[in-house]
Structures are given as structure tokens and as C-alpha cells.
């Protein structure tokens, strides 16, 4: 990172960290615990996120932090790294551990694994703006949580995911991105705001446009 004329010139290449919980406890608000489509959809969301990260020109490294064997396999299939989550201390600890594996010179972005509308183009757009601010974040559609958290160095990485994380990250000094007045930019940014926890979220994601893995999983669940 350098400072020129009072402006921060941040990293142009980023390491992406995805802390992913075990599928046994994933998306319980989306479908009943015994519904076989629930873990399948959770994996499909992750596949679409990993595919979008692969399509991004600004992403140099992707690390999935998890102890779930199926999630680890999805990361391997996408040619990305994975790291064990153990011991299970929580989402923020897992995110910090993944961030600690970042090579020097790369920015760090912690990304939710349930953004099925995400594209490489949108990621590149967000990361370009994240280069301006030493620490920044993207809020979820409801304006309560956080879907992406960016920092230029590991020293500035203080994730506070969980209840009302938007307010918590703002209080920590992170700059909120994605408040564009441009209609075209707002439509694109809807893809990074839209995480999926409930049926209403999923309906909205389908309206925006989900990735191929999620589309296939939805088609299979309809046929069952």
C-alpha cells in the first residue's frame, strides 16, 4: 500500500477467504433440517461463489476455511485452497485464520459463501473501490449484515461478523461500499448484497439471476 496526494493506493491483487460452516448446520432457515436439498443448495451457492472468484481478474488466491469434507472437495474441484477450521471457535476466528495465510502484497477480502448471484465482474468492481480505502465492507440486502469485508493488510483485519455486523464494522472504522446512485451500478451491486438465508432471499436471488450451480440444484429439487 502507498499514499499519493493524500489518497491510498491499495492492492490490485487480493486473497479471498471464505469461512464455511459444516453442511449439517448450514441454511437451516432456508429448508428443514431433514430436507436433502438443503445441503445441496448450500454447496451450489458455494460453487457459484468460487466460480465467480475464478473469473475475477483481481483475485490471486482463494482459501476456503472449513472442516466439512464435502466443502473441502468443492474447493479442490474449483482449484482453490482449503484450510481446516479446527478448533471450532467461530466464524470470525475462522476468517482470521484464513486471512493469516495471505502472502505478502495481497489485499484480504473475507467473502460469504452464500452469494449465488455473484460474478467475476462484480467482484472486480468492488475490489477496485476497496483499493481506495484501507478497510471497507459490503452490507447485505437487508442492511444489517455483511457479505464482504476488505482490508489492505492482515494488521487491519478485524472481522466482526454475526448479529448486526454492518453496525459493528462501521463502528470499527470500515468504510461501507455499494452506496451508488448510478442505477446500473446498483443493479450490479445487488449481486454482492444478496446473500441467501431464507426462502424470500432465494426468491430474490432468482429474480436477480443465480449462477449455474444454483440453477441446476433448483431444477433437481423441483423434479424430486
Q: What is the CATH number of the domain that holds 26?
A: 3.90.550.10
Q: What is the separation, in whole angstroms, between the first and last Cα of the chain?
A: 52
Given this model, what pLDDT does residue 222 score? 64
Q: Model confidence at 224, in pLDDT bands (50, 70, 90)?
A: low
| Main-chain phi, psi angles of 89, to 5 degrees | -105, -5
Burial 47-76 (b: 16+ CB within 10 A, else e): bbbbbbbeebebbbbbbbbbbbeebbebbe
- Which of 62, 66, 41 has its CA nearest to residue 53? 62
Flag whether pLDDT at 87 surpasses 50: yes
Domain count for the chain, please give it.
1
Indicate the helix (H) or strand (E) that contains 96: helix 91-99
Residue range(s) defining the domain that contains residue 150? 2-223
- Quote the pLDDT of residue 160: 97
Residue 214 in 3-state DSSP?
helix
pTM of the full predicted structure? Answer: 0.93
Residues of the chain with pLDDT > 90, as a percent, come to 76
Q: Is residue 1 very low, low, confident or very high in pLDDT (cuts 50, 70, 90)? A: very low
Other Cβ atoms within 10 Å of 125 Cβ, number: 21
Backbone torsions φ then ψ of 162, nearest 5 degrees: 125, -155
Amino acid at each position: 500500500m502507498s499514499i499519493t496526494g493524500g489518497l491510498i493506493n491499495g492492492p490490485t491483487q487480493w486473497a479471498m477467504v471464505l469461512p464455511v460452516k459444516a453442511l449439517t448446520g448450514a441454511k437451516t432457515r432456508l429448508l428443514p433440517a431433514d430436507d436433502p436439498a438443503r445441503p445441496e443448495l448450500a454447496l451450489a451457492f458455494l460453487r457459484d461463489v468460487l466460480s465467480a472468484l475464478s473469473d475475477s481478474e483481481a483475485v490471486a488466491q482463494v482459501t476456503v476455511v472449513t472442516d466439512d469434507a464435502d466443502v473441502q472437495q468443492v474447493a479442490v474441484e474449483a482449484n482453490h485452497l482449503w484450510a481446516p477450521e479446527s478448533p471450532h471457535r467461530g466464524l470470525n476466528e475462522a476468517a482470521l485464520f484464513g486471512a493469516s495465510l495471505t502472502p505478502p502484497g495481497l489485499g484480504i477480502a473475507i467473502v460469504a459463501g452464500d452469494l449465488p448471484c455473484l460474478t467475476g465482474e462484480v467482484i472486480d468492481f468492488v475490489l477496485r473501490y476497496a483499493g481506495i480505502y484501507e478497510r471497507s465492507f459490503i452490507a447485505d440486502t437487508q442492511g444489517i449484515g455483511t457479505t464482504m469485508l476488505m482490508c489492505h493488510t492482515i494488521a487491519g483485519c478485524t472481522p466482526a461478523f454475526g448479529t448486526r455486523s454492518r453496525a459493528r464494522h462501521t463502528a470499527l472504522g470500515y468504510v461501507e461500499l455499494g452506496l451508488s446512485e448510478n442505477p446500473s451500478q446498483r443493479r450490479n451491486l445487488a449481486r454482492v448484497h444478496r446473500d441467501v438465508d431464507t426462502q424470500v432471499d432465494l426468491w430474490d436471488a432468482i429474480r436477480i439471476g443465480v449462477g449455474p450451480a444454483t440453477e441446476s440444484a433448483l431444477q433437481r429439487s423441483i423434479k424430486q
